[in-house]
């Protein structure tokens, strides 16, 4: 074949490909064109009763917004072995200069426990110190016994704090006993 016929075949192939691409692009652009100005008509959504006489007005319906309140993920309940408390005091009548026994339920997963008493009349505080005994009372729960000797008459309360090791990590725990009165000796 001559060079001229090869050139004509290549040109014809390129021209055919160009025509196919042009037709495809024209087909993609067919359809209604968007308006050049913004659409200002109110859409007619459905009939609405005007409130009397059987007149029906056509117009947009009001749809109230649906407000979904945020949900707080609750903390999981602590297991018995992760709790500190209840805190109780042995006896019902107390006098100054006489020892008072304090019992604290402490889960076996609770560590770094600090207990203290507070004289509510003066807001004076003091640590209970080292426990006198620790006794298992249930699975995963110990009863820790402290004693202290009040020097002032008035109302006292015992509170404890500690750190519980839970499946979600470490968590601060605390407990407080009921207030009790101490009378002056004599």
The structure tokens listed for 154 are 């008035």
What are phi and psi for residue 29, nearest 5 degrees? Answer: -95, 0
- pLDDT tens digits along 55-78: 555 566 666 677 777 777 776 789
Write out the CATH class of domain 80-179.
mainly beta
Q: Are 78 and 172 in contact (CB under 8 A)?
A: no
Run of H or E residues at 158: strand 154-166
Per the prediction, the chain carries an average pLDDT of: 84
Helical ranges in the chain per DSSP H: 3-28
- What confidence tier does 89 reach under pLDDT thresholds 50, 70, 90? very high
Mean pLDDT to the nearest integer, 31-48: 60
- Which residues, other chains included, contact 74 with Cβ-Cβ below 8 Å and sequence gap of 6+? none
Percent of the chain residues topping a pLDDT of 90 = 56
The structure tokens listed for 92 are 């019902």
- pLDDT tens digits along 150-177: 999 999 999 999 999 998 899 999 999 9
- Domain layout of the chain by residue ranges: 80-179
| Nearest alpha-carbon partner for 116 in 49, 162, 48 | 162
The structure tokens listed for 109 are 């997963």
| Nearest alpha-carbon partner for 133 in 156, 165, 101, 163 | 101
Chain Cα centroid distance, residue 88: 32
- Which residues, other chains included, contact 63 with Cβ-Cβ below 8 Å and sequence gap of 6+? none
Q: Are 82 and 173 in contact (CB under 8 A)?
A: yes
Q: Are 100 and 146 in contact (CB under 8 A)?
A: no
Mean pLDDT to the nearest integer, 44-54: 53
Q: For the whole model, what pTM was predicted?
A: 0.59
SS (H, E, C) 159-172: EEEEEEEECCEEEE
**Pairwise pLDDT comparison (155 vs 7), residue with the higher score:** 155
50, pLDDT greater than 60: no
By the 10 Å C-beta count (0-12 exposed, 13-18 middle, 19+ buried), 175 is classed as: buried
* Count of other CB atoms within 10 angstroms of residue 153: 17
């Amino acid at each position: 074949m001559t060079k001229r016929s090869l050139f004509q075949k290549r040109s014809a192939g390129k021209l055919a490909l160009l025509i196919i691409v042009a037709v495809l692009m024209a087909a993609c652009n067919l359809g209604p064109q968007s308006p050049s100005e913004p659409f200002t008509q109110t859409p007619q959504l459905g009939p609405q009763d005007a409130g009397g006489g059987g007149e029906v007005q056509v117009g947009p319906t009001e749809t109230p917004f649906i407000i979904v309140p945020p949900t707080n993920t609750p903390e999981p309940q602590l297991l018995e072995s992760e709790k500190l408390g209840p805190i109780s005091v042995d006896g019902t009548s107390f006098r100054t200069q006489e020892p008072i026994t304090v019992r604290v339920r402490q889960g076996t997963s609770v560590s770094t426990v600090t207990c203290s008493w507070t004289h509510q009349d003066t807001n004076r505080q003091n640590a209970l110190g080292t426990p006198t005994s620790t006794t298992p009372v249930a699975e995963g729960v110990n009863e820790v016994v402290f004693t202290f000797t009040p020097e002032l008459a008035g109302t006292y309360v015992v509170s404890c704090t500690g750190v519980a090791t839970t499946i979600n990590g470490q968590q601060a725990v605390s407990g407080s006993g009921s207030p009790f009165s101490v009378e002056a000796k004599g």
